[in-house]
Each structure stands twice: as C-alpha cells, then as structure tokens.
Amino acid sequence: MFRVFSFFGVVFLSVFFCRSEVKAPAQVDESAISDEIQESKTRKPYLVPAAMVSTFREKYQARFGMQPTLTLQKDDVSVFLLNAGEHKDAVFNGIKINEARSYPPFIYFDPTYAARLERGYTALEDLQTGYKDPMLNEALLAGVVKAYPRFTKLHIIGTTALGRNLLALELSDFKAREKKIALLFSGAMHGNELTATEHCYHIISEILKNTGNYAEILSHHSLWIIPIANPDGNHFFWHVSSLMGRKNASIGPGQTHASPMRGVDLNRNFPFRWNSGHKKASSEDPNSVYYRGPSPGSEKETQAIMQLAERERFLFAISFHAVSGKILIPYTIENTRNPSPDYAGAFAREIAPQVRHHNPRRGFRAVKNIYPVDGTDQDYLYFKYGTIAYIVESSYRNSEYRYVPYFLEGYQPLWSGMLNDYGANYKFALRVKNARGEPVRAAVKFSDVTFFEGEKRTTNPGDGSFFRLTKNGDPVEVTISAAGYKPYRAEIAPHGVGYPPLTEISLEAN
C-alpha cells in the first residue's frame, strides 16, 4: 500500500519567455509590506490575440521602457499582466486586448511557471523559486530524492479522486538503530492556498542544506512531508479556475465533471465530530465551499492521511493553511474539552511569540476556536493518537512569490521548535511486547491525565511503541492493558533531556 517510487517522466510544456527575477527581499519594511502586497495584487491578466502580440509588445516597450509580463502563451492567445494604469493607457487604443474572464486560473498570474517546469530539479535552490502545482511538485520531489538518497524517500500514500498520486517525502537518516519519532507536515489540503505548500518545501530545503546541523534530528526522527495534500483541487486552481481548488474533485449529488463548485472540503471530512451539529462548522450542501462530504472519512485523500497516521503515530503535526497568521490549538470544535494536562495548548502558547508575522500590526497568535469548524485533520489526530496537531494559518495567500521567503523565515521557529521539543523535554517512551517478544496493541493510561471526550491511547500495533510528552518530571502510575493479557501497572518516571531507549514492558498472558 505504501510504496517507495523512483523518478518518472514528467510532461514538459514548451519554454516561455520570462522576465521576472525571483529573489528574497534583502530588506523588508515590515510596516509597508502588506500594503505593498495589496498593491501588487491589482495586476490583472489580459488576453492578447496572437496577431496583435508583436504590435502590443512594441507599443508597451515604447511607452514603459521594458517588456510586458507574459504569463502564458497558447496557440491563439498570449496572457500578459497589466495594472490598471497600464491598461488605461491610451497607447493601447486600437489594440484589442481583453481582461481575462472572472476567476482566471492561477497560471495566468505566474510568469515563471513554464520555465520552472521546463527546468525541473537541478539544485535545492529550485525548491524556492515559485509556487508549485502537482506536476512541479512531482518533478521537484523526484529530483530531491535522486540528489539526496541518504536522507530522503518518496512515498505514494494514496491516490486522489482523479487518480493523481498523493506524494509524501520522508526525511530521516534511515539508520534502524532505534525507533524514530514520526512528525507530519502537510500543506494545501485547501488546494488554493499555495503559500501552505511553500512552508513544506522550506522544511525540506533547510534540512537538506544543513544535514550536518540536523544530524541528530535526522537520526532520531522521521519527518513526513506532504506538500500538496489536495492535488486535484490544486490542479483546478492552477489550470482551470481560481474559483476552484479549496475542495477536492469529488462529484456530489446533482453535480457533473463541469461543476465549478464540485468537491469536498477535506478539512471538514475527518471522522472526529464530523457534522457536529453546529450550522456554520461545515455544510451538507455539495455546492458549499465547506461541504463535509457524504460521510465521515469518505474521501480518498482523507483516508490516505488516516492510514499513514495509524501506521506512523505522529508525535507532532502541522497542516499548513493560509491566510490569517495563527496557530490553531486543537480541539477546534465548540464545547469540546481538551485533555488535562493539555500539552498541545501549552506548546502552541510557548512557541507563538517566537513566530514573526509579516504584519506587525496583526502579529502571530495561538488561538482556539476562532471560527466554528468540525471534521478537521488536527482534531482527528489529537483525539485518535494524542498527536500534538495544529493548523497553522500562514501569512498572505498567493502573494507575488518574492515575498514568500520572508514569510517562510518568520515561521521557521514553529517547525524547528517541534523538531527540538522531544529531545529537550520530559517524555515517556515505551515498547509493549508479549513473552514471545511480539508487539502488542495495548491501551495505555496515565494517572496524571484526564480525558473528557472518550479518548483512548494505544500502542502502535506495528512495533508496540508508545510516546508521550509531558511538562512534569514527577513519576506517575501507568496502566497497560490488552485482551488476553494480565494488566500491567507500575510507577514510572519520565525521561529528561535526550533520546532515551524505549522502556521495554512485557505483558504476561492470562
């Protein structure tokens, strides 16, 4: 079901002219950056018929002293970006150019896409030169795996409604000395939030750029990175219409392949408090952008993440979204009580002040319940496995790419904090086996933890492992039980700083 795959061919489009240099801003005026981004968003795509392109270019060059920004060239038409002033300019009188229809596809706004797809992967720097669609994602991940075989594996963790592969890159040193601590980073579950994918690529490039500095992290962890968790929606957004893309490609009752409002909001589809009853938390209407799907966990993309989580038992997870500049603490559902003590809440509140939001007027905050929502991945992971799981809402959505490196740097403390947290804090690390040394799926209860929503913590049936973080070094009573075995009860103290071996616990048969 989870196979590693090697490089495969990518369909390249023809080379397009591209003038934009993509560079991180050397110095950013923080107070001005949001206004500047807003201003850059006023550029709109215009279609110029093939017969008029050279005249248009000449007139534009003569008027503005440079070439216009071409984003897409098809047989009969070219797409150029113009701002309102340029469009109004009298110099274009007599040239028939039309503003693109409402909700043009994102490719109409990206002058670098074609060249980047043509280039594919040549070096790590290619990971941070522009936004990715599913084709670029596939080409870049395959390139990374070829270039860094010691530290990366590419997995197909499932397929989508339209048959696209759901790709996950695993970062680790793959030395099987000990059990690795699994972490999950995913982006673009809402396929129209392109900035989310960039946070995933930032993690990949920062770690591979500095494998020496990250040697200890790579030796104790396994980082699962899914840059595009909703490839069908992401493809629609890029290549069909920017009205689409939040949802996946499923066809609901009364819809067809041509329905622009088709699809399920994957982040309302996870089976914890699905359809909680709150009217605004999700929708039963297939045409709503918050459509939760016909049943809990109905979508293939949702199921792929559920299966991966069941196998890997992530200690931490971030699902990157855009745009409100916040870290959302689970549970996000109204009237749902977190376990006590609440490590997820504590970690988020500690780390949030270290994150730099691009707009100091707003800042970056840890919040709970900012708006009614149900069926999210983070709540499911926290409920089912105790994963310290967050939705992180990044800065601006789909701004000009030159601003993106600034957002990414600002958010780095979040994920590097997660990578360091296990080693730096108190933790329980167990392995439960039977007398024959086989792993046992067992319930694990701690005397210091109270649950309010019926949560059950279990060992990983694959290897009997169990991890838990705690802020407190005091010994607690642990009870481990499984059908067919005598309950095990003991007082144990958590480990302190470092990466301890798992405490082996052997269950006696009844």
CB nearer to Zn ion: give 160 or 394.
394
- Look up tokens 């706004």; give the residue: 109
Nearest distance from C-beta of residue 188 to Zn ion, angstroms:
8
Stretch that binds Zn ion, among 41-49, 186-194, 203-211, 361-369 (CB under 5 A): 186-194
Stretch that binds Zn ion, among 125-133, 188-196, 292-300, 456-464 (CB under 5 A): 188-196
Q: Is residue 132 at the binding interface for Zn ion, with CB under 5 A as the rule?
A: no
For 342-409, list the strands marked E by DSSP. Answer: 365-367, 388-394
Q: Is residue 190 at the binding interface for Zn ion, with CB under 5 A as the rule?
A: yes
Enumerate residues 6+ apart whose C-beta is below 8 A from 486: 507, 508, 509, 510
CB nearer to Zn ion: give 220 or 292.
292
Nearest distance from C-beta of residue 205 to Zn ion, angstroms:
23
Instruction: Say how far apart CA 64 and CA 122 lie, in whole Å.
Output: 34
Nearest distance from C-beta of residue 415 to Zn ion, angstroms:
18
Size of site (CB under 5 A) for Zn ion? 3
Nearest distance from C-beta of residue 336 to Zn ion, angstroms:
20
In this structure, the chain runs to a length of 510
Cβ contact 313:180 at 8 Å: no
Residues forming a β-bridge with 468: 428
Nearest distance from C-beta of residue 290 to Zn ion, angstroms:
11
CB nearer to Zn ion: give 188 or 203.
188
Nearest distance from C-beta of residue 321 to Zn ion, angstroms:
3
Q: Residue 439's closest CA among 467, 464, 465, 466?
A: 464
Q: What are phi and psi of 439, to 5 degrees?
A: -65, 145
Nearest distance from C-beta of residue 265 to Zn ion, angstroms:
9
CB nearer to Zn ion: give 72 or 327.
327
Amino acid occupying residue 327: I
CB nearer to Zn ion: give 349 or 397.
397
Q: Decide: residue 506, CB within 10 A, 0-12 exposed, 13-18 middle, 19+ buried.
A: middle
Instruction: Say how far apart CA 429 and CA 510 lie, in whole Å.
Output: 25
Looking from the CA of 33 toward its CB, the CA atoms found within 13 Å total: 23
Stretch that binds Zn ion, among 130-138, 191-199, 484-492, 497-505 (CB under 5 A): 191-199
Q: Is residue 321 at the binding interface for Zn ion, with CB under 5 A as the rule?
A: yes
Nearest distance from C-beta of residue 504 to Zn ion, angstroms:
42
Nearest distance from C-beta of residue 193 to Zn ion, angstroms:
5
Please give the structure tokens belonging to residue 353.
């002040």
Instruction: Say how far apart CA 131 and CA 187 lie, in whole Å.
Output: 12
Stretch that binds Zn ion, among 165-173, 182-190, 290-298, 450-458 (CB under 5 A): 182-190
**Per-residue string for binding with Zn ion, 270-309, x by CB under 5 A?**
----------------------------------------
- H/E segment holding residue 430: strand 426-434
Nearest distance from C-beta of residue 189 to Zn ion, angstroms:
7
Stretch that binds Zn ion, among 75-83, 141-149, 190-198, 409-417 (CB under 5 A): 190-198
CB nearer to Zn ion: give 110 or 193.
193
**Per-residue string for binding with Zn ion, 193-232, x by CB under 5 A?**
x---------------------------------------
Q: Residue 260's closest CA among 240, 278, 277?
A: 240
> What's the DSSP call for residue 91?
G
Cβ contact 376:265 at 8 Å: no
Stretch that binds Zn ion, among 318-326, 330-338, 419-427, 452-460 (CB under 5 A): 318-326
Stretch that binds Zn ion, among 35-43, 314-322, 377-385, 448-456 (CB under 5 A): 314-322
Instruction: Say how far apart CA 275 and CA 372 lie, in whole Å.
Output: 11
3-state secondary structure of 34: helix
Q: Residue 354's closest CA among 298, 399, 412?
A: 412
The 3-class secondary structure across 147-160, one letter per residue, is HCCCCEEEEEEEEC
CB nearer to Zn ion: give 321 or 384.
321
Q: Footprint of Zn ion on this chain (CB under 5 A)?
A: 190, 193, 321
